[in-house]
Amino acid sequence: MSPAAAAADASTAPAGDVVVAVRDVHYAAGGRPIFDGLDLEVRRGRITAIMGPSGTGKTTLLRLITAQIAPERGHVEVFGEDLATLGRRGIYGLRRRMGMLFQNGALLTDMDVFENVAFPVREHTDLPDSLIRLLVLTKLQAVGLRGAAGLMPAELSGGMARRVALARAIVMDPEVLIYDEPFVGLDPISLGVIVRLIKRMNEALGITSVVVSHDVHELATIADDSYLLSAGKVAAAGAPQQLRDSNSAAVRQFMTGSADGPVPFHYPAPDYAAQLLEAGER
Amino acid sequence: MSAPRPGSYLLGGMRRLGSVTIFLVRLLIQCVPALARPGLLVQQVYNTGARSLIIIMLSGLFVGMVLGLQGYDLLQRFGSEEALGIAAALGLLRELSPVITALLFAGRAGTALTSEIGLMRATDQLTAMEIMAVDPMRYVAAPRFLGGVIAMPLLTAIFSLIGLYGSQLVGVQMMGVDRGVFWSQTQGSVDLHDVNEGLVKSLVFGVACSLIAVHEGYHAEPTAEGVGLATTRTVVASSVIILLLDYVLTAVFL
């Protein structure tokens, strides 16, 4: 790391300043184990990427971090507080310091873009309308959609909806911003815009970011730290470059996108030839 | 697939009843802060109440007119067709208005509530609210529940009025019952007890219908099929509960 980069790093990320810590988490859904001793940390002021093939529980991890579900074993700590020890009020208190960008935006469909962004402010503060207007317009300007303030969510494209959701997620100035699959289903232009916005939110506002995605190439350009989940554990951790250079078969399969490897191409099935020869309806 | 054991239906029913009861308690707790947000409440009274007006008024008119026809035919056999006013007023106030309004409400407003909330669940809007530290029970469920509870008695009153006008239209204008007798008999024999019976019924039906609609929507499976299923369940459960409660309440009032 160059001295300048190290200095910049030190100013935004004091050593040991862990915002989110997941410690030895076990979790199963519908009898299927999803996490089996998961450990990871998100440090302040950095962009942490969480990658993994579909079905490895990336979204489940976000639900654990935002206290929508509780682990069966282990602890999830956010801002140094163990979520299991907090009541509803405490969890709502923590959530006010977080923002989350949903895969589909999750905008409230009965109000326009402006009101959607203003929604958390109206719910949590008594600010006068004139101030709310300034706040909302500033955030919309940041995502380039000030001109779309009067549109309804149904009139927005997927990329625009995600940008409005981003404006809504940052309107209360959160310390942590969580992105759930922010790159899915976007055209190259919208995708580039979202990538740049994530980087800019992190640099300009100093927001700690957690990005969950399986898009290796996009993440590699912005992530400071990354974790690769596989089989309920962290299969690899480090800078994106380190993951790429890894010699673990599971990591290499994911990073290069090979069809077969430790994650098999074929869903478990009886012997192919035997099944073809056997009489039966299916 | 093996046939479910007979006990499993009972268990499932009990579990559902328990979940609805817990939901009602949570809802009632959230109704206090929801009352402090008159804007949201008024919007929901408009959504559930005002938007059901046309169907309620039309149905009221026709039910009243049928009541006029049938009542006249029946009473005429005993030579007491002047009693049409009493028969229509009591039938409407105590029985027909609350029940039919509630059934129509379940079909019109109940389904709308269920599918709206179910779709909000399916599109992560409720989760997004939770992450923004806004309790969807308070912001979404409670105002809709209260809106329904407020709207139902108002709709029932409108149904009664229009229904009475409808039976008057047939009895007096078409069949030739004396107008003065029709109204004076009505005025003389309807007392506060009858009005109260209708009011209490409509309030109870309002609570039941809104509770079922909001509960089904809130707990709908977040898929297209799940929301459709929840909407159907709202209509079926509401209709059965309304008729069941109607019997219980009538027995209590008589």
The boundaries of the domain holding residue B82 are: 40-253
Of residues A200 and B118, the one with the higher pLDDT is: B118
Give the sign of the dihedral formed by CA B222, CA B233, CA B57, CA B89: negative
Which of A206-215, A254-263, B245-254 shows the lowest mean pLDDT across its residues? A254-263
B127 contact A CB<8A: yes
Instruction: Give me the mean pLDDT over the A182-197 stretch.
Output: 85
From chain B, pick out residues whose CB is under 8 angstroms from the CB of A106: 123-125, 127-128
Can you say how many angstroms the Cα of residue A261 is from the centroid of all Cα atoms in its chain? Answer: 26
| pLDDT (tens digit per residue) in A190-232 | 888 888 888 888 888 888 999 998 887 888 888 888 888 887 8
Q: What pLDDT, on the 0 to 100 scale, is given for residue A10? A: 40
Mapped onto helix, strand or coil, the DSSP state of residue A5 is helix
Mapped onto helix, strand or coil, the DSSP state of residue A91 is helix
Instruction: Give me the mean pLDDT over the B65-93 stretch.
Output: 91
Q: What pLDDT, on the 0 to 100 scale, is given for residue B3? A: 62
- Whether pLDDT at A13 is above 80: no
From chain A, pick out residues whose CB is under 8 angstroms from the CB of B134: 119-120, 123-124
| Confidence band of A6 (pLDDT split at 50, 70, 90) | very low
Query: How many Å apart are CA A251 and CA A233, to the nearest integer?
Result: 12
| pLDDT (tens digit per residue) in A31-72 | 888 888 888 889 998 999 998 877 788 888 888 999 888 888
Domain residue spans of chain A: 3-89+212-277
User: Most confidently modeled of A72-76, A78-82, B232-236?
Assistant: B232-236
Q: What pLDDT, on the 0 to 100 scale, is given for residue A281? A: 66
What six digits make up the tokens of A266?
A: 């074929």
Q: What pLDDT, on the 0 to 100 scale, is given for residue A14? A: 45
Q: What pLDDT, on the 0 to 100 scale, is given for residue A2? A: 43
CA-closest candidate to residue B247, choices B195, B212, B205: B205
- Whether pLDDT at A1 is above 70: no
Residue of A79, A115, A119, A166 to mutate for B, most B C-beta atoms under 10 A:
A119
How confident is the prediction for chain A on average, in pLDDT? 83
User: Most confidently modeled of A2-6, A85-89, A92-96, B244-248?
Assistant: B244-248
Concatenating the DSSP letter of every residue in A92-108 gives HHHHTTEEEE-TT----
Chain A residue whose CA is closest to B139: A123
Length of chain B, please? 254
The percentage of residues in chain B with a pLDDT greater than 90, rounded to a whole number, is 75
Picking from B120, B127, B133, the nearest residue to A92 by CB comes out as: B133
From chain B, pick out residues whose CB is under 8 angstroms from the CB of A96: 133
Q: How far is B153 from chain A (nearest CA, A)?
A: 27
Cβ A102–B139 below 8 Å, yes or no? no
Q: How far is A106 from chain B (nearest CA, A)?
A: 5
Query: How many Å apart are CA A102 and CA A27, to the nearest integer?
Result: 22
- Whether pLDDT at A179 is above 50: yes
What six digits make up the tokens of B215?
A: 């509960």
| Confidence band of B110 (pLDDT split at 50, 70, 90) | very high
Q: Is B176 within a domain?
A: yes
Q: How far is B133 from chain A (nearest CA, A)?
A: 5
Residue of B121, B124, B131 to mutate for A, most A C-beta atoms under 10 A:
B131
Q: What pLDDT, on the 0 to 100 scale, is given for residue A16? A: 53
B134 contact A CB<8A: yes
| Confidence band of B168 (pLDDT split at 50, 70, 90) | very high
Number of structural domains (chain B) is 1
Q: What pLDDT, on the 0 to 100 scale, is given for residue B170? A: 93
Cβ B132–A68 below 8 Å, yes or no? no
| pLDDT (tens digit per residue) in B191-241 | 999 999 999 999 999 999 999 999 999 999 999 999 999 999 999 999 999
How confident is the prediction for chain B on average, in pLDDT? 92
Cβ A96–B133 below 8 Å, yes or no? yes
Q: What pLDDT, on the 0 to 100 scale, is given for residue A15? A: 44
Q: Is B71 within a domain?
A: yes
Name the pTM for this structure: 0.83
Can you say how many angstroms the Cα of residue A268 is from the centroid of all Cα atoms in its chain? Answer: 30
Concatenating the DSSP letter of every residue in A206-237 gives --EEEEE-S-HHHHHHH-SEEEEEETTEEEEE
B132 contact A CB<8A: yes
Alpha helices in chain A (DSSP H): 3-12, 58-65, 88-95, 113-124, 129-142, 158-170, 188-205, 216-222, 240-244, 249-256, 272-277
Q: What pLDDT, on the 0 to 100 scale, is given for residue A274? A: 85
| pLDDT (tens digit per residue) in B124-137 | 899 999 999 899 99
Long-range contacts of B32-38 (CB under 8 A, 24+ apart): B33/B138, B33/B142, B34/B138, B34/B142, B34/B143, B34/B146, B35/B146, B37/B143
Q: What is the ipTM of this complex?
A: 0.80
What six digits make up the tokens of A95?
A: 């959530």
Q: What pLDDT, on the 0 to 100 scale, is given for residue A3? A: 43
Q: What pLDDT, on the 0 to 100 scale, is given for residue B2? A: 54
What six digits make up the tokens of A32?
A: 């299927």
Q: Is B26 within a domain?
A: no
Q: Is B242 within a domain?
A: yes
Cβ A100–B128 below 8 Å, yes or no? yes
Q: What pLDDT, on the 0 to 100 scale, is given for residue B1? A: 47
CA-closest candidate to residue B44, choices B202, B199, B197, B154: B154
CATH superfamily, domain A3-89+212-277, is P-loop containing nucleotide triphosphate hydrolases (3.40.50.300)
Q: Is B14 within a domain?
A: no
Phi, psi dihedrals of residue A50, rounded to the nearest 5°: -120, 115
Neighbours of A56 (CB within 10 A): 23
| Confidence band of A11 (pLDDT split at 50, 70, 90) | very low
Cβ B125–A108 below 8 Å, yes or no? yes
Q: What letter would DSSP give residue A69?
A: S
Amino acid at A177: L
Query: How many Å apart are CA A58 and CA B245, to the nearest integer?
Result: 47
Q: What pLDDT, on the 0 to 100 scale, is given for residue B4? A: 64
Which of A151-155, A263-267, B103-107, B125-129 shows the lowest mean pLDDT across its residues? A263-267
B71 with B87: CB under 8 angstroms? yes
Q: How far is B84 from chain A (nearest CA, A)?
A: 48
